[in-house]
Structure 1
Amino acid sequence: MLNEKKYRNIGLDDYWDNIFLISNTFIDFISSLEIEQPEEQKVELKIVRERMNSDFIANMLAARAELEAKEKERKDKNNGKG
């Protein structure tokens, strides 16, 4: 900025005009921080009943079994068992 024409009359001390000491040490600064507690919010709880058809559950269980088998196979291969 000092090399630009419109800033020719600004000295180095002018750069410090917006700098303020907020703490003497970093530890004092950290110690001064506070956690702001959010305001309590009233939330209405509702129980929602979900229904899953048996085909969906069967497909999810089959997919889980397949993933577990692949994971076991991978672990066995890495341990030299496969």
Structure 2
Amino acid sequence: MTKDEFKKVLETAVGGTAYGDEIIEDLVAHFDETGKYAQTAKDRLDERIGSMTGWEKKHRAEGDTAKADAEAEKIAIAKKALAAIE
């Protein structure tokens, strides 16, 4: 897969939202031309999802539903991106 093809797959999956566009920018910037792009992208998304999951739990525990819901929305977008590249 070329860098442009990779970007188009991501744009179809998560483009059009601020966070989705942020993910696309990050993953395309770290696209590995040697063929390891999928593993690199998966690793980066796994790190994002793990971090955001921790923040979501923290916000829920503190009773801050709005912040927790915002993190949950970001997690859903990151999971869509992950599914698109698997």
Whichever structure has more helix as a proportion of its residues is 2
Q: RCO (CA 8 Å, sep 6+): is it higher in 1 or 2?
A: 2
